[in-house]
A = this chain, B = another copy of it.
Amino acid sequence: MPLIRFDLIEGRTDEQLKTLLDTAHDAMVEAFQVPQRDRYQIVTQHPANQMIIQDTGLGFERSKDVVVISVTSRPRTEEQKQNFYKLLVEKLGETCGIEPNDIMISIVSNTDADWSFGMGEAQFLTGKL
């Protein structure tokens, strides 16, 4: 169920986008233990001057590869979240060559009643999920 938004600077090829999304999903499945088809990903690409991603003084350089990942999910433990951050950075480095300093993530939580995956039903309430 997590819904994941990817904000990117425009310029990636379709193949690069596919690898990025596939890889992010792998990290999600492993960290949050969700089903394989629990995949909800939306990409928005921006001109470089329309994503300003600095570092709160942490000393990270950001490149044009910068990825901002915004997750909406039912509650997850701190351990799950930290595992997700770690796996995502590892895997995106391996498959896409994205540097660890180019990956920013934030999560917002909601509840069972806040999801309808189709049919006008709240599947976490009806027991279908």
Binding site for B on A (CB under 8 A): 1, 3, 7, 14, 17-18, 21, 25, 34-46, 49-58, 60, 68, 70, 72, 78, 81-82, 85-90, 100-110, 113-123, 125, 128-129
Contacts and interface: CB of A to CB of B under 8 A. Distances in A.
A81 B40 contact: no
B35 A41 contact: no
Secondary structure at the A interface, as helix, strand, loop or mixed, is mixed
Contact of A106 (B3, B41, B120): B3
A101 B85 contact: no
Contact of A50 (B42, B51, B104, B109): B42
Nearest to A86: B120
Given A17-B50, A103-B120, 11 more contacts: A17-B49, A35-B56, A41-B51, A41-B53, A43-B51, A56-B129, A85-B121, A101-B118, A104-B117, A106-B114, A107-B113
